[in-house]
Amino acid sequence: MSAQMFSIIYTGQQAPELKDLARSRAVMALPLAGRYRAIDFMLSNLVNSGITNAGIVTQHNYHSLMDHVGSGKEWDLSRKQDGLFVLPPFVTNQNPGMYRGTLDALGGVMSYIRRSSQEYVLIIDDTAVYNTAFRKMMEYHLEQKADITVLYQQERPHEAVLSEGVTRVYLYTSEEGRVWDIEVNAASPKTRLVSLGAYILGKALLMRIIEECVARDRHDFIRDVLIRRMNDLRIFAFGHKGVAVRIDTVQNYYAANMAFLDADARTDLLSKGGPVYTKVKDEVPARYGENGRVANSLIADGCVIEGNVENSVLFRGVRVAEGALVKDSIVMQNGDVREGASINHAILDKSVVVQRDRVLSGTGDFPVIIRKHGIV
Amino acid sequence: MSFGGKYRIIDFALSNCAHSGVDTVGVLMQYQLHELNFYLGTGQAWDLDRVHGGVYVLSPYHRSGGGKWYTGTANAIYQNIGFIEGHDPENVLVISGDHIYKMDYREMLGAHCEKEADATIAVMRVPMNEAGRFGLMRCDEDNVVVDFEEKPAEPKSDLASMGVYVFNWRVLKEYLIRDASDPASSSDFGKDVIPAMIRSGARALAYPFEGYWRDVGTVRSLWQASMDLISSPPAFDLYDPVWRIYSKNPNLPPHYVGEGARVACSLVPEGCTIYGEVERSVLSSGVYVGRGALVRESVVMPFARIGDGARVERAIIAEHAVVGGGCHIGAPGQKPEKDAGGITLVASDVAVPDGAVYERGSVIDGHTGKEETE
């Protein structure tokens, strides 16, 4: 059944709320959980759902993303038929090279959509990261004879706190699951169903929608399709039963990484719908020195741990020297925390050096971010 | 066979090939073919999925007139003369897949060509008291081999063959054909073919190698070579950025170290979960160490589980073995430590029941589960 579906992944707008983390990379290229990037989860979800035709729509800063996905081989998406297609923006008369919204972006890849042979399409945006197989959602879509099915998650009320630059789409559904109202960033939502930014619809319908909207200068899939056409399209909501994390602000990104320290959440996010595949780097096993102490942390291959690490996520090739302390922090690839240095509630981007005896200290709400290649 | 946390022993030979610019590799194999085939795949992990060349599994096969098992190392190559001819090489590199070392075969080939040798044998000095385990040779001052003896009872030299040979293919082919027609021959390179070459005046050259090299064919040597990875500085450096060891990646999440765990002087690859204590040990992908457990000076192979409160000392816990809660593997015992060095082995897939105690040097075997000594 899912063999009839192809997928388009929209990798992200500018994300000012992610500050320096998204300066040189798309949201979907953000490193996550010690050895992954956000897009690994989505590509693995597709593959674990039997989807073998995937287009990645890129807009900003897509160099690191292209470098990461390569031919798609690591996700088994380097195929004779279909496979992985990276779709960078290109400038034509109709397309100025800058997408003004998701629909605009979909319009920009119309030739890919037209060329895809599958009857249904799964559209995924950069809202959230989760581990699921989309088969059940597809079955639900067919059972309900839906035009569009939206994936959602039940959020606890206290999670519905909004900060600037964040988009939350609240869904109101009837008993049978049909969506009868949608609010974007409602101040006081009366529903707990929040969209996870994944949609199934027929390819023919998608093409019609794109053509109609482009003709009327409408760009936003949520406002111009889901909300505007709620009455004449059968829009249904399908609930994701596991963990989903969001990476749209620095705080959420920090919390998303920390979520992996919980055994249940880790199992859910790394294996629920199937394994998460990523690019292989041939790193060596992590090596521990004599006096290091590590507690409640994720440590990737290639790390050399001689100091102390607590409640932290260490990506590949990180060095923690003797007497150093890494606490409640995220250290990306090849970070180097030298003798006697101490960091807590910090996010060190790739290849950051924290020199001897330096102290970096943030809080859970406001972690310190050090840019790529920064030397502290 | 896994080694060094996330590698298989064959990764070391294949990585040497990849880094030495060898683009065509035939892997001679007659047991556990499926497993090896599955592991090698297209050879992509070692950069050996090439347009010209690649990696080939060469197993015995039936042909008109019947087929037969490989009767020896040289016979394995004899049976694949057709494969080699198909690539029409000038020289052939013959190596063993179960040694741990880093070697640039290009330099050896350079010496072989420069000296116009028929055969070049990589050699290294070994301690005289261990020399009897190796193929030993004596050379003149130009490194020309004058005498080769395979595992002699009374060693006359400490210059050991590493099982790495470069042959002039035309010459080797002649000797292989001659060897195959000799019913008394065991068709082994060390025992038969190389001594025959030397006897009949072929030009055999020793190529001295300095550096780390280990045969890990026994429990003791496997354990020792694993410990060599965690000495400080490591006797064998996996971390060399220009000579990275390639392997098929098992695709597992970063390892998790829980509250109250302690890890010291150890290698821990991805996929492990550690709640207990790990000291001077090499863990492999997907290993679980329970709360209050202690793993000391041990090698734990992929996906083995050490139960809560278990103690594992100077042991090798093979793949997928389960050590029950509160077990003591490698407990000090009455028995004198033998030559095996008192390394305890829990064989693969064995489940050791909770609370079991096994003395140092035991072999805990799958079928009987009963204690045996080496």
Task: Give the model confidence (pLDDT) of A28-79 as tens digits.
Answer: 889 999 999 999 999 999 999 999 999 999 877 778 888 898 889 889 898 8
Residues of B in CB contact (< 8 Å) with A are 4-6, 44-45, 230, 232, 238-239, 244-247, 249, 251, 253-270, 278, 282-283
* Separation between Cα atoms, residue A22 and residue A250, nearest integer Å: 10
Q: For strand B119-125 and strand B159-168, is the pairing parallel, antiparallel, or unpaired?
A: antiparallel
Residues A33, B262: C-beta atoms closer than 8 Å = no
* Residue located via tokens 């909207």: A213
Q: How would you list the strands of the sheet with B288-289, edge to edge?
A: A368-370, A346-348, A330-331, A313-314, A297-299, B255-257, B273-274, B288-289, B305-306, B322-323, B351-352
Which pLDDT score is estimated for A117?
93
Written as one string, the DSSP assignment of B120-162 is EEEEEE--GGGGGGSEEEEE-TT-BEEEEEES-SS-S--EEEE
What residue ranges define each of the domains in chain A, with the CATH number in brackets?
2-271 (3.90.550.10), 287-370 (2.160.10.10)
* Separation between Cα atoms, residue A124 and residue A113, nearest integer Å: 14
Residues A300, B254: C-beta atoms closer than 8 Å = yes
Residues B264, A275: C-beta atoms closer than 8 Å = no
In chain A, which residues have pLDDT < 50?
A: 1-3
CA torsion angle for B18, B23, B28, B33 (degrees, to 10)?
A: 80
Cα–Cα–Cα angle for A59, A61, A64, rounded to 5 degrees: 120
Which pLDDT score is estimated for A162?
62
* Shortest CA distance from B234: residue in chain A: A287
Residues B268, A280: C-beta atoms closer than 8 Å = no
Which pLDDT score is estimated for B373?
41
User: Considering the entire predicted model, what is its pTM?
Assistant: 0.89
- B331 phi, psi to nearest 5 deg: -70, 145
Which pLDDT score is estimated for A278?
93
Tokens of A355: 């020199």
Cβ neighbours around B367 below 10 Å, total:
7
Cβ neighbours around A231 below 10 Å, total:
8
Cis peptide before A31 (omega within 30 of 0): no
Alpha-carbon distances, residue B57 vs A318, B49, B61 (angstroms): 38, 13, 11
* Shortest CA distance from B239: residue in chain A: A284
Q: Is A297 at the interface with chain B, CB within 8 A?
A: yes
- Within 13 A of A288's CA, how many CA atoms are on the CB side? 27
Chain A nearest CA to B243, separation (Å)? 11
- Going by C-alpha positions, the residue among B347, B354, B344 that lies closest to residue B368 is B347
Q: For strand B315-317 and strand A5-10, is the pairing parallel, antiparallel, or unpaired?
A: unpaired
* Strand, helix or coil for residue B191: helix
Tokens of B214: 């280990």
* Separation between Cα atoms, residue A28 and residue A18, nearest integer Å: 12
* Separation between Cα atoms, residue B178 and residue B165, nearest integer Å: 19
Q: Say if residues B349 and B366 touch (Cβ distance below 8 Å).
A: yes
Q: Say if residues A57 and A11 touch (Cβ distance below 8 Å).
A: yes
Q: Say if residues B302 and B318 touch (Cβ distance below 8 Å).
A: no
Which pLDDT score is estimated for A326?
97
Question: Which one of B230, B244, B253 has the shortest CB-CB distance to A270?
Answer: B253
Per-10-residue mean pLDDT for chain B, 374 residues long? 90 94 89 83 87 86 81 91 92 93 95 94 90 89 89 88 94 94 90 91 92 89 93 87 88 94 95 96 97 97 96 95 95 64 90 92 70 42
Which pLDDT score is estimated for A95?
61
